Amino acid sequence: MGRVIAVTNQKGGVGKTTTTINLGAALAEKGHYTLLLDMDPQGALSIGLGLPAYDLEFTLYSILTDTRIPIAAVTHHVRPHLDIVPSNIDLAGAELQLVAMMGREFILRDALATVRDRYDYVLLDCPPSLGLLTVNALTAADEIIVPLQCEFLAMRGLDTLIDVVARVQRRLNPKLRLVGIVPTMYNARRVHSREVLEKVRTTYPNKVLPVAIKESTRFAEAPAAHRTILEIDRTGDAAESYRALAEVIINARPEE
């Protein structure tokens, strides 16, 4: 049964979608069957991989609001070993509809249960909020990774996220565990970047993963070309960073 990993941080612009796309691509490159779920109404994950998100009739919204629709029916094959469940702006209305639904926190978990045995990894690209979409992701997930931009304002919300994760563990998903924090947009030449990274390591000992994703203009170019960083700059530092992160995730086996 595949490992379900939520890529989450309530702050926007910290590299969640970039990490989901490129970690997924790196896992797929290694031969692991991987499914990506676009849980952000902006649809950046879907668009970045070349899907016409705003022209699709069936998306993640369809699954969350009509439990009769199987997740396989809205899954697109985008690369060897790599599939995606897309989203678009329709998903923005899902949280309002979920509020009135029985067992609303478990809808995504139940949908994924029908396809988990088909994949080695399922990556959930969470929206920049701590609403019902994110709670659904955390309830469905086995594990969490937190992309964290190496800037002070990005670091401030980390305590709130950790608290939400703890509440989900207590009330909805006791098996949920934090794999680690992934430093993103890191620039070793900047004193501020180094100070923030050291502060996070001190505050959350043993939780910062041993791979820092460095700043690169390639990360902006890749989605514009509907390609992953592994395709646009195959041997560059950015691609190698995500290959290294994939190895860390593969070796971070769930606790028995």
CB within 8 A of 83, min separation 6: which ones? 33, 34, 35, 36, 75, 76, 77, 119
Residue pair 44/52 in contact (Cβ under 8 Å)? The answer is no
- 256 has a pLDDT exceeding 70: no
Q: What angle do CA 197, 235, 143 make, to 5 degrees?
A: 45
Give pLDDT, residue 141: 98
* Residue 83 structure tokens: 């599939």
The arithmetic mean of pLDDT across residues 196-211, rounded, is 91
Residue with tokens 């609403």: 131
Total Cβ atoms within 10 A of residue 204: 17
Structural domains for the chain? 3-251 (3.40.50.300)
> For the chain, first and last CA: distance in Å?
14
Rounded distance between C-alpha atoms, residue 9 and residue 59, angstroms:
22
Q: What is the pLDDT of residues 8-34, one digit of tens each?
A: 998 888 999 999 999 999 999 999 999
Rounded distance between C-alpha atoms, residue 22 and residue 243, angstroms:
8
Q: What is the pLDDT of residues 41-77, one digit of tens each?
A: 999 999 999 999 888 989 999 999 998 999 999 999 9
Predicted TM-score of the model (pTM): 0.95
Return the sign of the alpha-carbon dihedral for residues 178, 27, 35, 110. Answer: negative
Helix, strand counts (H, E) of the chain: 12, 7
Q: What is the pLDDT of residues 73-112, one digit of tens each?
A: 999 999 999 999 999 999 988 888 888 788 899 999 999 9
Give pLDDT, residue 26: 98
What angle do the packed helices 237-251 and 16-29 form, to 10 degrees? 80
Give pLDDT, residue 254: 60
Rounded distance between C-alpha atoms, residue 233 and residue 241, angstroms:
12
- Dihedral class, residue 50 (left if φ above 0, else alpha if ψ from -120 to 50, else beta): left
Rounded distance between C-alpha atoms, residue 167 and residue 141, angstroms:
14
Q: For residue 8, how far is the Cα from the chain centroid?
A: 6
CB within 8 A of 68, min separation 6: which ones? none
